Structure 1
Amino acid sequence: MSDTSTRSTPENEAPGTPAGPDGGPPSRLAALGRSVARRRLPVLLLTLVVMALAAVFGGGVAERLSSGGFTDPKSESTKAERVLADRFRTGVPNLVLLARAPGSVDDPEAAAAGRALTERVAKAPGVLSTGSYWTMPGAAPLRSKDGRSALVLVRLGGSEDDFRATAKRLVPQVRGEQGVLDVTVTGSAQVSVEIEKRSEQDLAKAEAITAPATLLILLMVFGSAVAASLPLAVGLLSVLGTFLVLRLLSMVVSVSVFATNITTALGLGLAIDYSLFIVTRYREELASGKDVPEAIAETVRTAGRTVLFSAVTVALSLAGLLVFPLYFLRSFAYAGMAVVALAALGAVLVLPALLALLGRRVDAWNVHRLLRRGRERRPAGQAGGETGFWHRLATAVMRRPALFALAVVVLLVSLGLPFTRASFGITDDRELPASAPAHVAAQVVRDDFDSRENSALSVVLPTTSADRVRAYAARASTLPGVSRVDAATGSYAGGKQVAGAGPASARFRAPGATWMSVVPSVEPYSDAGARLVERLRAAEGAPGRLLVGGQAALLVDTRDALAAGLPWTGLIIAGATLVLLFLFTGSLLIPVEAVVFNLLSLSATFGAMVYVFQEGHLRWLVGDFSVTGLLDISMPVLMFCVVFGLSMDYEVFLLSRIREVYVATGDNTRAVALGLERTGRLVSAAALLFATVMAAFATSGLTILKLLGVGLASAVIVDATVVRGLLVPSVMRLAGRANWWAPRPLRRLHERLGLKEA
């Protein structure tokens, strides 16, 4: 049954109805399109100059970026690390040397080599402190179970960039044969170095896979080799421009090296999305009989408006990452917002200039003509009538809207259920492939050593009172998850002192303060490790305001920082979506529907993250990785913002065409069917292309990039097919004309402030 009704009065007028291209007021975007078409050569020359400058100054950006940024710099654990470095010249080891002897590490020759190695490392620039099995009294836990390996624990000083630079310089000097010892290296500093190197290699590999695959798909989608090259040109502009932005930002703030990966993925993906929309509309306008300048003007007025609106919504979704103190997440916001802005500008300025230069030759070198056999084929993505696949699908869905809506909601919620089993940690050596040297060495430490000396917690106490230190150390040694406590007054286990103070105990003292090392018996990046931190901070007898640092404390503080920022991120994204979609459509219900649709898309993505990467299923499909039983705690937040933005991208494309038909006809059912027909192939092709780009990142050896690639690829495919193809038409059919309703005051507001085409 049709939703048509008389539309002769303002009461029934679709909110924000724009003036048509004929007889209405002049459109600013149409004027921009004509201006770009007239000045196409200057626009293209300026673009080439900008791209050349960006390639020169932004090409080496990865060397200036950091592989850290996973923790809150203002947290208690970070403050504890700074106090240890500044006042005690020590800290939690961030470089661990695993030394293997041909026999026992207690053999005279091995012991001499071990002491010499420890002394040499201690003298290296950038090293704050060292300790080893051979130089520390009571260091039996630093000896392996079989007695053939021992550890040298090193604390490198400075920021993440500083200790990574020190590790790059020091590790080649100490790795390999050192006397009779064979030395391998792990620890957070070395893991950071190897992640940085692997990220650059994986980015190059992903680009090598993506370029030919993307070009082939574009060729099949557009049919024309000339048209297929246009999105790649916009994508190259977006990526190079963003590299330059990141290079400039790195001079004033810390930027994660992973920002380059999201730049490439989003740059190509969004450039393809926007270019598909622009070129498809341009072809439609040419087919309708317009000349080239007018076709460009109308394309920029309609499709260009949608592209700009989509870019704003995606950018605001990514802006939600800026509220978090972790510069790993903030870096994705920097890169994402820059690449979205450049992709949109490229689509509405550079691409129309290229189209004006090409004119009707945009369909040159058309491969589809080679495949035609006596019948005309409509170019991919061109607006269809009422007999296409997507129109038939929408019509079928809208005949039983309640059934389809319920089925899709149940499916997506079911796919999201594994997320209720999520457990979180922070990136460590297991982020690397199992064959990576730092991962291999760290696994040996986990398997062959009884103690967790290299993951000890540091507790800084604002007192030097021996009695108070002794009381707190004894109390702390009784807490569940504690193996031993070392302090200025000796060592403690099970509430009793097991060793007295010795010469090495002096390292725990400084004027007005002391610190102690709490060696855990539990995995630091686990719920048990988090509970241990909370117990230490709340333990009875704590002498004043203490600071707890170490791996487990970093996890607790990072979790708290993300939990504090998440409501603000949700408010920014949901608020921006509701306001902008109201300005776009003049509707109250459609913005709410969009938020709900996107949350349902996210549920499937979050469930897949746990099912695949936490629990280790489907490794045969996504590639091998280390299963730790944990997810990196920052990834759900990152996925939330990126997937929400991409879902809005497709939502805006679909709504623009639905609204266009509804404004002309007032028939909600017909508008949904035609809108889906005119964008179904387009959005599906865009999703396939973006998924191809992201699937290339799934080949990465880094789990975090593999998760990002698999998660985003699956999210866009589900969103472009199940959500846009089934859920949107069923819900919009159920809502009927209520989709477009707004109370009179808001309709007047929309008339004044709404985003109109004219």
Structure 2
Amino acid sequence: MSAADEGGRTHRVFAGIGRAAVRRPWWMIVGWLLATVAVAGLVAGFGRPVDDDTRLPGSDGQRGRDLIQQHFPGGDGASGTVVLRSADGRLDGASYRKAVDLTVRGIADLDHVVSVAAPGADRGSLSGDGRTGYLAVQFDVGPRDVGDGLIDAVLAATRPAADAGLEVLPAGVLAPAETSTRSSEAIGLGVALVVLVIAFGGLVAAGLPLVAALITLVCGIGAIGLAGHLTAVPGVATTIATMIGLGVGIDYALFLITRYRGLVERGAEREPAIVATVASSGSAVAFAGGTVIVALAGLAVSGVPILGTLGWTAGLIVLVAVGAAVTLVPASLAVLGPRIDALPVRRRTSARGSGWGRLAGRVTRRPWWYASGAALVLVVLALPATRLTLGQTDPGDWPAGSPARTGYEVLGSTFGPGINGSLTVLAELGAGADVAGLEAAVRAVPGVAATQPARISPDGRLAMIRVTPDSAPRDPRTVATADALRAVHGAGLTVHVTGQVAVRAELADRIAQRMPAVIGLVVLLAAVLVFLAFRAPVVAVKAAVMNLFSVAAAYGVLTAVFQWGWGATLLGLDGPVPIESYVPMLLFALLFGLSMDYEVFLLTAVRESWLATGDNARSVRDGLSGTGVVITSAALIMVCVFAGFVLSPSPVVKMMGVGLAVAVAIDATVIRGLLVPATMVLLGRANWWTPGSGRRRPGSTADPQEVTGRQQVSWR
């Protein structure tokens, strides 16, 4: 089957969608509204459970967790901490003992609470001066099921302690991090409205992409939240999906409306213009969205469940955004008719007379200068990435005064930093196992601050020892302590080390091992998709390489800002923080997919001019000048949306926001505006060499069927 045949088939499918939108616009609009109301209602009724617990099949830490679940009834449940602090007396003294006992009994009576241990010096949960202690609360449900209702019930049961004048601070699972992104979303939408008004010149045209993006968010984020009842979905998944949903939801609608208004301005009737818009730009949006989804699908080979989950949740929101763009937007255009141009606020200008047209002329005249300058900028930005290391954040990295950080810091300063990241040593007991010898060996491991007596499982086949390291969870020394504990040996013993810190350390190692495979797969898939779209291997390879440049630059900025702390205080952080292990790989997949959107946008315009004229420099100039304004507008919206998430208190969300914003900004300016057109001028006719193309020249002798097939992915 030829490319043209495929293009014609795609054209007919999307033209059919466009005709349906024109004939039955209210059916599509009402359908989306009903879906939005239904999803919102289900979320309101059933909630959106999250599970931030890290699982890593095949790892030693996960093996330890599985053993606990098999041999200790209820042993795999979540645990939380309630810190009690007095200003003028001991917690075990006469002044506070009754209030503490009432608090303990109140928590113990709650559903899903297996046990609660009062502060005690013999248990190591009471400070030397007796003024600070903590209650260790064990639940019979996992972290994902310790929702707001159970947390509120536990905190309500601490009322006797609070009434007695004690300071009550939740910690651990009882102090979930604040994940609301409403302020970031509001800022992103506000800035997007301004950019859209400037781009479209009217309020109605500017408002339509925002409506499409909001409906995308409600449906997509709601579906992801409901999926939390069926599988583990981390809280950061909805945040990342919100970022991506806002960006692509607005951008895809922007591309369609730009195409539609351009056709109308050139004299096309409105209804045929809608059909033509969906057939051309609608198919291009589907291709762009498919590219993002394919890139995210590459995360499946990482062998890391959290990355796979973040991949499919982000892919789901992109799929919803594509659906809204090719159905809801054209249906709305059909209903609005000429009112799409209502409420004008400024006069629109021609793209070819803009600054992008002048820049296109300069780049094509001096390609070596611009290619060299752009490459130098990218190298400088990417250099810090050579020092990038993977780590793990903890509540101590959150903003000062937040509940999660306050309880964390009080525990760490009073009982030692390791109290916030305990390790669990598990030993499978065989014939002649010496548990006492195991305890002694564990206590002798460097980095171990304290241990609890070994617990033997009811079936006598497993021993469990809780270990408190002398370093904080994020400290590399804690990882070294976990590795040293795994090296403990004894007759009749098979030792495993588990716990959140241990598993996350293994997660970082696995990601580092699998990163080359993921990068290779995503690059290959992206290159294949571009080749299928343009049948030009040079263009396909060059597109993949250019995307690598933008990712490398984003990694460099990420390293300098977060790992080295350059400007970290401007982002609301106290200083350097570890780069969460899964962030670089997730950023890679997202950025590769999003960058390909702009690449296809630019290449399609250049290709159309090349097929019409056969003049390589002119086609590059025409493509850049004709698409620069739209690319800039779309990228500016994405940059502002992503940058707005820097306001989130979560360091991980800040990393994602900075990484995505920087990469898109670089991609739309330095790479698409300078490096890509300059290298295309330098490559000349080699850009569009196609295997088996023979000596046929483009231009007036071009195959009309090929031109038609190529134009099916037109963005303009």
Q: TM-score, normalised by structure 1?
A: 0.83
Instruction: From 553, 557, 576, give the equivalent of 2:502.
Output: 553
Q: Indicate the residue corresponding to 1:52 in structure 2.
A: 37
Question: More deviation in 718-727 or 549-558?
Answer: 549-558
1:131/1:153 contact within 8 Å kept: yes
- Is 1:456 aligned with 2:405? no
Distance 2:3 2:399 in 1: 54
User: Per the alignment, do residues 285 and 241 of structure 1 end up closer, same or farther by CA in structure 2, a change over 3 Å counting?
Assistant: same
C-alpha displacement of 1:66 = 0.3
Q: 1:454 to 1:57 in 2, by over 3 A?
A: closer
Are residue 688 (structure 1) and residue 597 (structure 2) matched? no
Q: Which of 129, 144, 150 is equivalent to 2:133?
A: 150
Q: In the alignment, which residue of structure 2 is the partner of 1:173?
A: 157
Aligned-pair CA distance for 1:50: 3.2
Structure 1 contact 317–641 (Cα < 8 Å) conserved: yes
User: In structure 2, what is the equivalent of residue 282 of structure 1?
Assistant: 260
Q: Which consecutive residues of structure 1, in runs of 5 or more, have no partner in the other structure?
A: 1-14, 370-376, 489-505
Q: Distance in 2 between matches of 1:143 and 1:208?
A: 45
Change (3 A) 1:113 1:31: closer
Q: Deviations over 1:235-261 (max 9, x none)?
A: 133223213432553342222333333
SS in structure 2 of the partner of residue 95 of structure 1: strand
1:238 matched residue in structure 2: 216
Q: Which sections of structure 2, spanning at least 5 residues, go unmatched?
A: 697-704
Which shifted more, 583-592 or 446-455? Answer: 446-455
Q: Which of 165, 169, 184 is matched with 1:206 structurally?
A: 184
How many angstroms apart in 2 are the aligned matches of 1:297 and 1:41? 16
| Residue 529 of structure 2 corresponds to residue 580 of structure 1 | yes
Alpha-carbon distance in structure 1 between the residues aligned to 2:228 and 2:303: 16
Q: Quick check: 652-661 or 160-169, which moved more?
A: 160-169
Aligned to 2:447: 481
Deviations 1:421-447 (A, max 9, x none): 334333432354311123112112222
What does the per-residue CA deviation read over 1:155-177, in whole Å, with 9 as the maximum and x for residues that have no partner? 33322223446434213312672
User: Which residue of 498, 515, 519 corresponds with 1:570?
Assistant: 519
Return the offset for 1:657: 1.0
**1:644 matched residue in structure 2:** 592
- CA distance in 1 between partners of 2:185 and 2:288 (Å): 25
Q: Distance in 2 between matches of 1:26 and 1:275?
A: 19
Counterpart position of 1:9: none
Q: Secondary structure at the match of 1:211?
A: helix
- The CA deviation at 1:670 is 1.3
Which moves more between the two structures, 609-618 or 65-74? 65-74
Q: Which residue in 2 is equivalent to 1:359? A: 337
State the number of aligned residues. Answer: 701
2:175 match: 191
CA distance in 2, matches of 1:223, 1:751: 36
Segment drifting more, 717-726 vs 44-53 = 44-53
- CA shift at 1:418, angstroms? 2.6
Alignment RMSD: 3.5
Q: Does 1:414 align with 2:366?
A: no
Paired residue for 1:742, among 687, 690, 709? 690
Partner Cα distance (2:371, 2:300) in 1: 35
Distance change >3 Å, CA 292–CA 735, structure 1 → 2 = same
User: Distance in 2 between the 1:71 and 1:416 partners?
Assistant: 32
Identity %: 32
CA distance in 1, matches of 2:661, 2:474: 28
Q: Work out whether residues 204 and 343 of structure 2, in 8 Å CA contact, stay in contact via their aligned partners in 1.
A: yes
Q: Distance in 1 between matches of 2:444 and 2:660?
A: 45
Question: Secondary structure of the equivalent of 1:462?
Answer: strand
Contact 1:317 1:642 in 2 (8 A): yes
Spell out the pairing of 1:413-562 with structure 2 (5 A cutoff).
Answer: 413-430=379-396, 432-450=398-416, 452-463=418-429, 468-488=434-454, 511-541=460-490, 543-562=492-511
C-alpha deviation, 1:733, in angstroms: 1.7
CA pair 323-122 structure 1, distance change in 2 beyond 3 A: farther
After superposition, the C-alpha distances for 1:638-681 in whole angstroms (9 at most, x for unaligned) are 21122222111111111111111112122221111111111111
Give a deviation string over 1:196-216, Cα, whole Å, max 9, x none. Answer: xx22xx322223333333222
One of 291, 294, 305 as aligned partner of 2:283: 305
Counterpart CA distance in 2 for 1:516 and 1:47 is 54
> 3-state DSSP class of the match of 1:153?
strand
Counterparts of 1:705-716 in structure 2 under 5 Å?
705-716=653-664
Deviations 1:727-747 (A, max 9, x none): 111221222211112322999
Equivalent AA in structure 2 for residue 436 of structure 1 = S
Residue 405 of structure 2 aligns to which amino acid in structure 1?
A: H
Q: Aligned pair in 2 of structure 1 residues 746, 460: CA closer, same or farther (>3 Å)?
A: farther
Which of 96, 114, 129 is equivalent to 2:81? 96
Distance, in Å, in 1 between the alignment partners of 2:204 and 2:403 is: 46
| CA distance 1:223–1:576, change in 2 (3 Å) | same
Q: 2:52 aligns with which of 33, 57, 68?
A: 68
Q: The residue matched to 1:332 in structure 2 has which SS?
A: helix
> Cα–Cα, structure 1 residues 463 and 757, in superposed 2: closer, same or farther, change >3 Å?
same
| 1:191 positional shift | 3.2
Instruction: Report the secondary structure of 1:64's partner residue.
Output: coil
Q: Which residue of 1 aligns with 2:702?
A: none
Aligned CA distance change for structure 1 residues 99 and 93 (closer, same or farther; 3 Å)? farther
Aligned equivalents of 2:170 and 2:695: distance in 1?
Answer: 63
Of residues 716, 726, 729 in structure 1, which corresponds to 2:677?
729
Of 581, 584, 598, the residue aligned with 1:633 is 581
Correspondence for 2:142: 159
- Aligned positions of 1:214-293 closer than 5 A: 214-293=192-271
Q: Which moved more, 1:327-336 or 1:574-583?
A: 327-336
Range moving further from structure 2, 594-603 or 738-747: 738-747
> Structure 1 residue 281: deviation in Å?
1.7
State the match for 2:700 in structure 1. Answer: none
Number of the residue aligned with 1:701: 649
Q: Could you say which residue in structure 1 is the equivalent of 2:23?
A: 38
Is this contact kept in 2: 1:415–1:608, CA < 8 A? yes
1:178 Cα offset (Å):
5.5
Q: Distance in 1 between matches of 2:388 and 2:77?
A: 28
Change (3 A) 1:402 1:146: farther
SS in 2 for 1:158: coil
SS in 1 for 2:712: coil
Counting only pairs closer than 5 Å after superposition, residues 616-627 of structure 1 correspond to structure 2 as 616-622=565-571, 624-627=572-575
Report the CA distance shift for 1:354/1:167 in structure 2 as closer, same or farther (over 3 A).
closer
Residues 1:83 and 2:67 are matched in the alignment: yes
Distance in structure 1 (CA, Å) of the matches to 2:163 and 2:12: 78
Please state if 1:609 is matched with 2:579.
no
Quote the Cα distance in structure 1 between the aligned partners of 2:270 and 2:160: 67
Deviates more, 1:401-410 or 1:640-649: 401-410
Q: Which residue of 1 aligns with 2:701?
A: none
Cα gap change, 1:168 to 1:322, in 2 (>3 Å)? farther
CA distance in 1, matches of 2:65, 2:153: 23
Deviates more, 1:294-303 or 1:25-34: 25-34
